[in-house]
Amino acid sequence: MNDAQRITGVLSPVVTPFKADLSPDPERFVRQCKWLLSQNVGLAVFGTNSEANSLSVDEKVALLEKLVSAGVDPSRMMPGTGHCAITDSVKLTAQAVKLGCAGVLMLPPFYYKGVSDEGLYRSFSEIVERVGEPRLRVYLYHIPPVAQVPITLGLVERLLKKYPGTVAGMKDSGGDWNNTKAFLDAYAKAGFDVFPGAETFLLQGMRNGGAGCISATANTNPGPIARLFETWRSADADAQQAKLDGIRQTFAKYPMIPALKAAIAHYGGDAAWSTVRPPLVELTPDQSRSLVSDLDARGFTMPGLR
Amino acid sequence: MNDAQRITGVLSPVVTPFKADLSPDPERFVRQCKWLLSQNVGLAVFGTNSEANSLSVDEKVALLEKLVSAGVDPSRMMPGTGHCAITDSVKLTAQAVKLGCAGVLMLPPFYYKGVSDEGLYRSFSEIVERVGEPRLRVYLYHIPPVAQVPITLGLVERLLKKYPGTVAGMKDSGGDWNNTKAFLDAYAKAGFDVFPGAETFLLQGMRNGGAGCISATANTNPGPIARLFETWRSADADAQQAKLDGIRQTFAKYPMIPALKAAIAHYGGDAAWSTVRPPLVELTPDQSRSLVSDLDARGFTMPGLR
C-alpha cells in the first residue's frame, strides 16, 4: 500500500447490532456497513461507539470475516484493534491486516492508569513487531475521556521515528481543538493523518491539513458529513458545518450509543436495532420519542436506510 | 459450598511472572502460589496487581488450569474474572467454577465511563445467569482509581436481593475507609464478606466485621499480614498493624507492581521476576537498589522464598 492509497475522509465507528440474546447480528451489520459505504462513509468498525469493548476478540474476528466474505471492501475499513492485553491486540490486528483492511485504529492499553510514555511506546512497538506486516497501518486512538490514557506528542514522535509509514495517523477524540491542532501542526506535513473524533472539527481540521473525521454521528448523518468533507473549500462550507453541528448537538443530549441505535431503529423501521449490550442501557420510549421529535424538527432523514 | 466454607483471610493478587518473550511463566507462577499458601495467604490470582488486564482470557484459563493440575488447592483461590466484554467474563468465570475455585473477584466492565447502576446490574446479572452454577461465589471489585467505574451500595443491594448466596462479597480498593465502613455496616451481618483492598485497613476491617483483606503487598509480606488476621484480637494487634503499614509505605514509594516484582527478584534470588508486560515498566536498577535498601532497613525478609 503506498501513501496515495491511504484511507481518508469520513469514517463511522459503526454501531454493532445485537440479537435479542445479545449476540452480534452479522446480517444487520453487513447491511449497515453497505449503507454507510453508499453514503461515502468509511468503516471504522469496532470503535468506542461500536460497543467494541463489550465484544470479545473472537466475536470481532468473526464479524470482520463476515463483512469481507459478504463483499464489503476492506480497503474502506479501519477496525479498532487495541485491547488491554498485547496478545489480544496482536490477534485482531493481524487478522485485520490479513483481510486487507486499510488500517487499524488502536487504543492504548486502558486498564492501568498513569502509565508512562515509555510503557505505551513498548506496548505499541510490541504489537507492530509481533504483527510483522509491512502492510500494517496503525492509527493511534486518543480518547482520554473514556480510555483515560492519552496519546501524547512525545509518544507519536518516538513511534513515527521508529515505524515511519506503519504509524500512519491518529484519531483525536479528546474534544479539544487545541490538542488536535498541535498534532496537525507537528506531524500532518510528515504524512501523519489526523482525524478529529467528531465532525465538530471537520472543517477546522481540513483547513489545517486534517484527513477527514471519524465520528459517532457519521452512523446516522453520513451523507451530509461526507459532503462537507468533499466540498470543504466551497462557499457554503461554514453553513454546512453549522447544520451538522445542530444534528450532532441533538444526539448529544442523550447517551450517544443508545441514541444512535434508537435513530437507526426508528428511521430504518427496524426496532431490533435499539438493543445494546450491558453496561449500556437502551433509551427509554420517552427518550426515543423526544430524540425523533427533535431530529424531525431539524429536517433530519436517513435516506436509503429503510 | 455452604457458608462455613467461604474463603476468608488474607489473599494476594498474585503477581504474574513472565518469560523474556513476555509469555506467562507457569512454573514460576505455581512455585509462587505454593509459597504464598505456605505463608497462610490465599490466591486472588488475576487481580490488578497480577497484570491480569494485560493477559488474554486464554492465557488466564491456561494458567488457572496449570495451577490446579500442579496441585494448588482451588478452594484457596479467588481469581479475577471481570472483563469489559460479558462473553469474556463468562468464559473465565465458568472455567474458574468448573475448576473448583472458592469464588471469583469480578471487575465491572471498565471501558465505558459514567454507566448507570442499571447497566452494571444487567452486566453482572447476565454473567451470573449465563454461568448458571449454584457453586458460583461472586466478589464484586470496587477499584475506582483504576477501573473508574464504582460499585455502589445501591448496586450491591439489588444484586444481593436477586442472587443471595451467589453474590458473596466485595473487595474495596477505593482507599476510603468511610466507604469500606458503609459496606460493612450495611451488609456484613447479612453474610456479605467485605475485603479491604489493602492491609492498611485490615485491623479496622476485622473490628467492624470484615472478612480479611486482599492486598498487593501480601505478595511480598504475606506471613506478617496473615498473622495479624489470625491474631487481630491480641494485645499487640495495633503494633502489628503499624509495622505492616511501614512495609507497605515503603513499597508505595515506587510503582507498585514493578516494585513487588523487584522485591521477589531480589529476595528470591531470581532476576527473571522483574519482568513486566507493557504498558508497565520495570524499576530502574537505582530504584531497585533503593527499594531493597529501604526494606532491609525495616528488617524486611521473605522467608522460604529462595
B91 and A56 in contact by Cβ < 8 A?
yes
Q: Tell me how close the Cα of A71 comes to any Cα of chain B, in angstroms.
A: 27
Query: According to the model, what pLDDT value does residue B4 have?
Result: 61
Q: pTM for this structure? A: 0.97
Query: According to the model, what pLDDT value does residue B306 have?
Result: 81
Prediction ipTM score: 0.97
Query: According to the model, what pLDDT value does residue A306 have?
Result: 81
- Which residues of chain A does B59 touch, with a Cβ-Cβ cutoff of 8 Å? 85, 87
Task: Kindly state the percentage of chain B with pLDDT values over 70.
Answer: 99
Query: According to the model, what pLDDT value does residue A201 have?
Result: 98
Cα–chain-centroid distance for residue A62? 19
Contact yes or no for B268/A109 (Cβ under 8 A): no
**Cβ-nearest to A55 among B54, B85, B281:** B85
Query: According to the model, what pLDDT value does residue B5 have?
Result: 77
pLDDT lower than 50: segments of chain A: 1-2
| Domain positions in chain A | 3-237
Query: According to the model, what pLDDT value does residue A170 have?
Result: 98
**Cβ-nearest to A85 among B48, B54, B113:** B54
Contact yes or no for B229/B251 (Cβ under 8 A): no
**Average per-residue pLDDT for chain B:** 97
Residue B297, number of CB atoms within 10 A of its CB: 10
Residue listed under C-alpha cell 469514517: A11
> What is the DSSP secondary-structure string of B40-91?
T-EE--SSGGGTGGGS-HHHHHHHHHHHHHTT--GGGB--B---SSHHHHHH
Query: According to the model, what pLDDT value does residue A5 have?
Result: 77
Supply A261's cell numbers: 441505535
Q: Which residues of A touch B (CB under 8 A)?
A: 22, 48, 53-59, 84-88, 91, 108-113, 115-116, 118-120, 122-123, 126, 145-149, 277-281
What is the C-alpha to C-alpha distance for residues B198 and B9, in angstroms, rounded to an integer?
A: 12
Position A280, amino acid:
L
- Which residues of chain A does B53 touch, with a Cβ-Cβ cutoff of 8 Å? 84-85, 109, 111-112
pLDDT higher than 60, residue B178: yes
pLDDT higher than 90, residue B3: no
DSSP structure class, residue B111: S
What is the C-alpha to C-alpha distance for residues A79 and A57, in angstroms, rounded to an integer?
A: 12
What is the C-alpha to C-alpha distance for residues B227 and B117, in angstroms, rounded to an integer?
A: 37
Query: According to the model, what pLDDT value does residue A1 have?
Result: 42
Contact yes or no for A170/A200 (Cβ under 8 A): no
What is the C-alpha to C-alpha distance for residues B145 and B173, in angstroms, rounded to an integer?
A: 8
What is the CATH architecture of B3-235?
A: Alpha-Beta Barrel (3.20)
CA gyration radius, chain B: 18
Q: What pLDDT, in 10s, does the model give residues B30-41? A: 999 999 999 999
**Cβ-nearest to A86 among B86, B146, B277:** B277
What is the CATH architecture of A3-237?
A: Alpha-Beta Barrel (3.20)
Contact yes or no for A39/A222 (Cβ under 8 A): yes
